[in-house]
Amino acid sequence: MKIETETRDDHQVKLIAEIEPEVYEKSKRQAARKIAQTTKIPGFRPGKAPFEVVRRMVGEKALQEEALDILVDEIYPQAIKEAGINPSGPGALEEIVSIDPVKFSFLIPLAPTVKLGDYSSVRLPYEPTPVTDEQIDQFIERLRTSYSTVTPAERPSQEGDMVYLTISGSLVHPEEGKDPSVIEERPLQVMIRPTDQQNEEEWPFPGFARELIGLSADEEKTISHTFSEDSHYETLTGKEIEFQVKVTSVKGVELPEVNDEFAQTLGEFQNMEALRSSIRTGLENNGREEYDRDYYAKLIDMIGADAEVQYPPQMLQEEIDSLLRSLEKDLADQKMDLETYLKVRETDRETFIENEIKPAAIKRLVRSLLMDEVAHTENLELGQQELDASFNETMYELQSSGDFDKLRKKVPSKRLANAVATEAALRALNRRVLERLKAIATGQAEEEASVAQVTPAAEDNPNEEPAAEDTASEQAEASPQDNPEPPKPEN
């Protein structure tokens, strides 16, 4: 077999293979046998007709096609091996250049190559913002509000009251021929907060509640407000709107006292101290999750900035497809399909993919490639223990997500277990990589490395083929430091 290769710009290889006539002849005979199995040839049992008879029956052309098919299947792996190509996906037969001698040209996507820059010098301090007492106070305040008791009051409203009202809004200067109504008449309940606790997100505009002070039941008021340029409601910026308000009732709100008793009513809290600390951890976890996401995204982008990533278009296409699928699934949850969604967004499929899906897909692909590469260069491996832990976690999440039963009915349990295991392994490895990157970026890794030089038995350097005991000890060593963060409670 003669092989020529030619690397193309988009990270694919064009491979031209020339086949010897004997090999071709052999595959022709094979083809004839295959055809004889399926074609009915009078006078012969299936599969018993000799080559010549088959050829007379089906014709040279059909025989040739079948033979080429067989040949392609057969020589493709061989050709790849001989050419020393590392493919990332199934190659495509581009064309049959000639029949005599048989010459194929394949288009093979190469495995992505990632050239990491000097990622070990990337520095990004890891500083999650600490939770302040103020935030905790705010949280408790919110708790108090939601646990407050409401009693009807026969008096004009005042600070701290809950006002039930109906509201409708219209533009003061509507455009010609347009419906001036902005808000249809609808009920609303508003809490009048003290001035120092103003809610920035207040609806319909900040400060609305304070306009209601002094109103009592069945009173009406017209409030006009001009939305500022930086308002959340883009369509209303700079427009003056009149709100018609009719108060239905005023209710006094009694906030529970902040004391140990209040803490006890909320659950398993002994006293205020316990409640506060629980809130603190909850907030911390939430904040850290968010921070972690941003941090890792930034970190990987930094590494990606001086890395060189090359991948064939097929991989990108796969990524795009998977993104589209997940989008479709999300839409299906909202009882929508992609077509409708696109119509709402006033775009068509091609432009939508080109402008929105593709950049995201590229980003995701590059990110995952980078992470793989880091895992590879850093020689990160997972111990059985970690895998188990991750598997259990994944399984647990799956079970609690509710679709599990449905899934289990559809998918055979073995396949399901496999899928979960793969997912779990991926997750664990991802986490591992991210932690390693964090260690590098915060400079911890260097310290460890210097320690490692003094004591060569240090962790984090799993050998290529660790002996059984090594793995065990390594796991024991690795697991405590691999999970510096306690499992995050869902909040």
Q: Note the residues at the interface with another protein (CB under 8 A).
A: 42-45, 48-50, 52-53, 56
Which residue, among 228, 227, 224, has the nearest Cα to 244 in the 3D structure? 224
Pairing of strands 92-98, 103-109: antiparallel
- 142 contact partners, CB below 8 Å, separation of at least 6: none
Spell out the long-range contacts of 461-470 with Cβ–Cβ below 8 A and sequence spacing 24 or more. Answer: 461/379, 462/379, 462/380, 462/381, 464/379
d(C-alpha 290, C-alpha 321), whole Å: 27
Q: CA-to-CA distance for 174 and 181, rounded, in angstroms?
A: 9
Cα dihedral 222, 226, 232, 235, rounded to 10, equals 100
Give the gyration radius of the chain's Cα atoms: 34
What's the closest the beta carbon of residue 22 comes to another protein, in angstroms? 18
CB proximity list for 105: less than 8 A, separation 6 or greater: 14, 15, 16, 17, 93, 94, 95, 96, 97
Residue 95's SS3 state is strand
Of the pair 46, 174, the CB lying nearest another protein is at: 46
Closest to 270 in 3D by CA, of 114, 278, 331 = 278
**Cβ closer to another protein: 44 or 203?**
44
**Complex with another protein: residue 46 or 443, whichever CB lies closer:** 46
Place of tokens 């305040």: 141
**Closest CB to another protein among 41 and 163?**
41
The pair phi, psi for residue 3, each rounded to 5°, is: -125, 130
Nearest distance from residue 32's CB to another protein, in Å? 12
Shortest distance in whole angstroms from residue 64 CB to another protein: 19
Residue 40 Cβ, how far from another protein at the closest point, in Å?
Answer: 13
Q: Cβ distance 126 to 102 under 8 Å?
A: no
Q: What is the DSSP letter of 89?
A: S
161 — phi, psi (to 5°)?
A: -90, 165
Query: How far is residue 319's CA from residue 89's CA, in Å, rounded to a whole number?
Result: 13
Token pair 């900040």 is found at 206
Backbone phi and psi for residue 70, each to the nearest 5 degrees, phi listed first = -60, -45
